[in-house]
């Protein structure tokens, strides 16, 4: 039997990104399973899941586990605190370089840096502000990306109440500034409440109010920028902390580059996705989704991913300590649009949402149950505190039977769920739809460099190629349908969800702004939109070939988001 992807482009991507020299697809999956096995039975079960591509480890994980190369299997990191001193800034820059050099993407909160023009008494000079210092990290990312084989990945966050927030909002309204960054505004509940009440809002630093602004005007500026430039994104930072399972021992101020992993200082997280198209079966009454197989696959995957914490290389000792203390992971799904539409549920429809909710419920309950079983066998994560953990807002949404078992046995992993964009791993699995995104195009032509020169290959969507299903594209779905998928998914995820809401250039302005309000009201931890008529779309088309470093790159050919 032949295993692995069948599309030429998918085979090439898997070979170049995730395998060693001369290693076959089957050998790479056996390497992964053998390295992470607890015993032979576990190895056999896990190997079968991997060979069928029912589970796809994130890119760094596939490439690093069991490999002789000294790289990290962790895709996601957040920097240590960037404190308001030159020494701290340069130390964090050095640490960022080490992290990216081993293949990790990294996020930062720059809110602790004093605003532009503020007095530095010890030097009798003025601060140039957080946006200027972001340039140091931007340059490091470009340099490391240019020396390696993959784009760098960074997220920069500034709180909405920082005095330099207006400069931050405008920082990427051009073609050449902070190109190695995604940027997001950390929106507080205080700001959202002032916005809805029509009250003014104070910009402050270190307890001092620098400026009082019209909240509506500041919101308008954020919205105009994201409409035109697809940035900044919005993180509901208080919601993130309110829903954090580790609310009692950490504060989160930033996320990984694509936003699906809010992490504490030096936080690190593993990613992987269940490939939903591989659970489609043919029966007497037609095609159906094999929920039982999905449920059976969850325990061996959780067991294997948990073992990565004990074998992984880390760029920094502080990251290793975070990993050991909390044993975070972020398991999610990919191919959701393809799978749902293959069995007859139009993306964003009531039937699609009901099916997706059932899938996410099985995964949520399955991973938590598996982690409880591991705690019973191997012990809970070191910072587990049963009383405090069970007070968590997300934990309270779990079925009573799981909460009772957590109280009795503990849990092995502090967090277990995340939905990433999965751009490259989805393409390596025969171009399935990424994450929970709709199909971006049914086919497109891609240039492939070969020994004999460049060739053009038509790359078809998985559902279209194998089932003749013309799924709804991202631009055919309404903003309301995008938002409903995002809001539903966030309810079943303990970390966060990466999802882009595609909007029409003809959308009414007030309707566009309401997307973000409704995202906050519905419990989302963040929101990102993409307007194909905006200025960023033109920049992406213009600069695609010379792209060196982009935290999360949107392919102008397909609209697909890809994070390094």
Instruction: Please give the positions annotated as active site.
Output: 256, 258, 260
Shortest CA distance to 435 belongs to which of 341, 340, 534, 332? 332
Q: How many CA atoms lie within 13 A of 444 on its CB side?
A: 16
Q: Where are the alpha helices (DSSP H) in 316-438?
A: 317-326, 336-342, 350-378, 386-389, 400-409, 423-427
Backbone angles phi, psi at 20, to 5 degrees: -80, 170
Distance CA 259, CA 254 (A): 9
DSSP single-letter state for residue 497 = B
Query: Are residues 206 and 115 in contact, defined by beta-carbon separation less than 8 angstroms?
Result: no
Query: Are residues 115 and 158 in contact, defined by beta-carbon separation less than 8 angstroms?
Result: no
DSSP secondary structure of 406-453: HHHH--S-S--B-B---HHHHHTTTSPPPTTPPBS-SEEEEEEEETTE
Joined tokens for residue 509: 């302005």
Residue 110 CA, chain-centre distance (Å), reads 20
Query: Are residues 182 and 139 in contact, defined by beta-carbon separation less than 8 angstroms?
Result: no
Joined tokens for residue 496: 């966060």
- Residue 10's CB is within 10 A of a number of other CB atoms, namely 21
CA distances from 210 to 90, 204, 219, 328, 555 (A): 27, 5, 18, 38, 40
Those residues whose C-beta lies under 8 Å from the C-beta of residue 313, and which sit 6 or more positions away, are 64, 70, 71, 72, 73, 102
Give the gyration radius of the chain's Cα atoms. Answer: 23
Query: Are residues 158 and 164 in contact, defined by beta-carbon separation less than 8 angstroms?
Result: yes
DSSP single-letter state for residue 266 = T
Joined tokens for residue 386: 């049963």
Tokens 């070939």 identify what position? 545
The β-bridge partners of 271 are 330
């Amino acid at each position: 039997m032949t295993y692995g992807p069948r599309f030429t482009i998918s085979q090439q991507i898997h070979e170049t990104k995730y395998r060693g020299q001369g290693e076959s697809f089957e050998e790479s999956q056996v390497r992964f399973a053998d390295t992470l096995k607890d015993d032979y039975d576990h190895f056999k079960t896990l190997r079968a899941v991997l060979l069928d591509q029912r589970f796809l480890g994130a890119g760094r994980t596939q490439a690093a586990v069991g490999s002789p190369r000294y790289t990290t299997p962790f895709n996601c990191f957040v920097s240590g605190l960037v404190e308001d001193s030159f020494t701290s800034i340069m130390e964090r820059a050095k640490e960022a370089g080490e992290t990216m050099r081993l293949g990790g993407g990294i996020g930062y909160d720059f809110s602790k840096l004093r605003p532009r023009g503020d007095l530095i008494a010890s030097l009798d000079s003025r601060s140039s502000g957080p946006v200027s210092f972001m340039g140091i990290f931007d340059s490091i990312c470009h340099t490391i990306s240019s020396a390696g084989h993959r784009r760098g990945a960074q997220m920069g966050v500034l709180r909405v109440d920082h005095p330099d927030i207006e400069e931050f909002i405008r920082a990427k309204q051009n073609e050449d500034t902070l190109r190695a960054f995604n940027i997001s505004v950390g929106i507080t509940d205080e700001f959202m409440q002032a916005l809805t009440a029509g009250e003014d809002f104070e910009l402050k630093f270190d307890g001092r109010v620098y400026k009082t602004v019209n909240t509506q005007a500041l919101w308008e500026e954020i919205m105009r920028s994201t409409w035109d430039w697809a940035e900044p994104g919005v993180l509901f930072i208080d919601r993130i902390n309110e829903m954090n399972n580790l609310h009692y021992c950490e504060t989160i101020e930033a996320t990984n580059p694509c936003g699906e992993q809010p992490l504490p200082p030096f936080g690190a997280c593993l990613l992987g996705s269940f490939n939903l198209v591989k659970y489609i079966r043919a029966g007497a009454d037609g095609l159906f989704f094999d929920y039982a197989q999905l449920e059976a696959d969850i325990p061996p995957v959780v067991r294997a991913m948990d073992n990565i914490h004990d074998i992984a290389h880390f760029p920094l000792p502080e990251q290793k300590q975070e990993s050991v203390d909390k044993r975070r992971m972020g398991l999610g799904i990919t191919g959701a649009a393809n799978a749902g539409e293959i069995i007859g549920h139009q993306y964003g429809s009531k039937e699609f949402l009901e099916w997706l909710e059932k899938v996410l419920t099985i995964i949520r309950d399955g991973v938590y149950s598996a982690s409880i079983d591991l705690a019973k066998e191997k012990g809970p994560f070191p910072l587990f505190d049963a009383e405090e953990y069970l007070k968590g807002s997300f934990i309270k949404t779990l079925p009573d039977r799981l909460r009772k078992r957590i109280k009795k046995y503990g849990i092995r992993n502090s967090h277990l769920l995340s939905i990433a964009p999965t751009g490259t791993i989805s393409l390596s699995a025969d171009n399935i739809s990424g994450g929970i995104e709709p199909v971006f195009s049914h086919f497109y032509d891609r240039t492939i460099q070969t020994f004999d020169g460049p060739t053009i290959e038509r790359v078809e969507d998985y559902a279209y190629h194998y089932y003749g299903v013309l799924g709804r594209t991202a631009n055919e779905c309404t903003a309301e349908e995008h938002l409903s998928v995002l809001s539903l998914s966030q309810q079943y995820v303990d970390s966060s969800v990466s999802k882009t809401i595609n909007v029409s250039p003809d959308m009414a302005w007030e309707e566009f702004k309401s997307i973000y309000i409704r995202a906050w009201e519905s419990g989302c931890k963040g929101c990102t939109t993409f307007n194909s008529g905006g200025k960023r779309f033109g920049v992406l088309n213009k600069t695609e070939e010379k792209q060196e470093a982009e935290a999360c790159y949107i392919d102008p050919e397909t609209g697909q988001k890809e994070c390094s």
